[in-house]
Chain A
Amino acid sequence: MNAKSVIQPAWLRLTHWVNAIAVVLMAMSGWRIYNASPIYPLVFPAEITLGGWLAGALYWHFFAMWILCVNGVAYLLANGLTGRLWQRFFPLRWNELKADLWAAMRGRLSHADLARYNAPQKGAYLFAMADIALLIVSGLVLWKSVQFPLLRELLGGYDMARKVHFYAMWGLVGFVAVHGLMVLLVPRSMLLMIRGR
């Protein structure tokens, strides 16, 4: 592997970190908004929420949503137009996914070539993309349920959209937890996402 070659281009590193900040802001403010009227017995500790009270949390949420959306669209456009999306993430084969996951469990999954995603990586990153898209769509229904009737009905109405938004949040929190753990296990990947190689 050529050490000089850039594996993660600048636009990708930039959109990755902007997205990371937006996701943290959205999650922390979202937990505060959820706390105003919890749909389950679960309540988030105030210490890990953002905004101080409902109006403050809404300020942050409806500020960070622009970052999340604009950055997400920029990422998908650049990813699609450069062809990276197809090269890096496809094909994603079920057999490979199973074999790689099994290897990962036994600590035998190779990370010799960081330029190539293994099947669980492909799956996890595609999941993150789809889950953020679902968060945005369900969030749009919660924000403007009257103005987006088609999306509202697709998600099963306003109350169902709240649940979809909530579970999609947990999906992303789960992804971030696994993603963070993997970075700890393969610290080179952190360097890669900072300097590109």
Chain B
Amino acid sequence: MTEKKRIQTLDEQVIVREALQALPEPSRRLFLRHGLTLGGLSLLTGCSLSDDASVGNMLQKVSRFNDKVQAWLFDPNRLAPTYPDSMITRPFPFNAYYGPERIPHVAADDFRLELSGLIADRRPWSLTELYQLPQTSQVTRHICVEGWSAIGKWGGVTFSTFLKRIGADLTAKYVGFRCADDYYTSIDMPTALHAQTQLSFTWDGQVLPPEYGYPMKLRMPTKLGYKNPKHIRAIFVTNTYPGGYWEDQGYNWFGGS
């Protein structure tokens, strides 16, 4: 019980996360399952630990089923609501799996966005080249899995424009992201091609500040906050399920909104 109570603030989650990385795979999975079900089940039925693992398994399966339901519910033509600039949340909250002291500061000059996987033209992109792509802007609501939300203004290139430019296989299942803060996540191709999915370089008309994901983030008003990676340094297209930082710990993969 004490372990679970401690996983309440972000900093503590980082500590646990790092501890987990030091554990071999099976113990990680065991920890996940027990952490998920121990408290609840001991309250409800007093089940033994072995039962807990099977309940955790069942819950994971339902979560994967919910991925499919969300993919089915997702309408590629339905736009998230947009707002006037006056409704932008100020200050816009900083949120990450670490505190502000660990925000990565990426150097612009030698930065190259790496591309891999099912992409025809995998040459890396400099920031100058990316800034020359057609730019769009959106004022949309960022909804966090925790329940809070905030309205922000992001500018950048429509992600589908970029994917087409680099010759990505648009029939592939997933687009994955690796970030300068060691965060990683992946999304489904229909969401990647959604009109409001944007590779963002600015926030509120300014170059994306470090706390919001410099040099670039993927902005998707159709997905929860943890699906919107910041500090992206590499993008890949694949048919193999890539998972994600929070998703591997139990957050729902589709994370649609």
Contacts and interface: CB of A to CB of B under 8 A. Distances in A.
Given A36-B146, A53-B4, A55-B246, A146 B257 contact: yes
A36 B143 CA distance: 13
A113 to B, nearest CB: 35
B145 A51 contact: no
B56 to A, nearest CB: 8
A60 B5 contact: no
B4 A149 contact: no
Given A33-B147, A59-B62, A146-B221, A53 B35 contact: yes
A62 B62 contact: yes
Nearest to B41: A50
A158 B4 contact: no
A127 to B, nearest CB: 26
B113 interface: no
B144 A37 contact: yes
A58 B146 CA distance: 10
B252 interface: yes
Q: How large is the interface on B (under 10, 10 to 19, 20 to 34, 35 or more residues)?
A: 35 or more
B141 interface: yes
A58 B252 contact: yes
Interface in A22-72: 24, 28-29, 33-34, 36-37, 39, 46-56, 58-60, 62-63, 66
Contacts, number: 104
Among B60, B62, B75, B251, the most chain A Cβ lie within 10 Å of the Cβ of B62
Determine chain A's interface SS by DSSP, over half rule: helix
Interface in B51-72: 58-60, 62-63, 66, 70
Contacts of A53: 4, 7-8, 35-36
B39 A52 contact: yes
B249 interface: yes
Interface of B: 4-5, 7-8, 35-40, 43-44, 58-60, 62-63, 66, 70, 73-75, 78-81, 141, 143-149, 221-222, 246, 249-252, 256-257
Given A54-B146, A55-B251, A158-B141, 20 more contacts: A29-B40, A37-B146, A46-B39, A51-B36, A51-B39, A51-B40, A52-B37, A52-B40, A53-B8, A53-B35, A54-B145, A55-B249, A56-B40, A59-B60, A66-B62, A146-B78, A146-B81, A146-B222, A147-B257, A158-B143
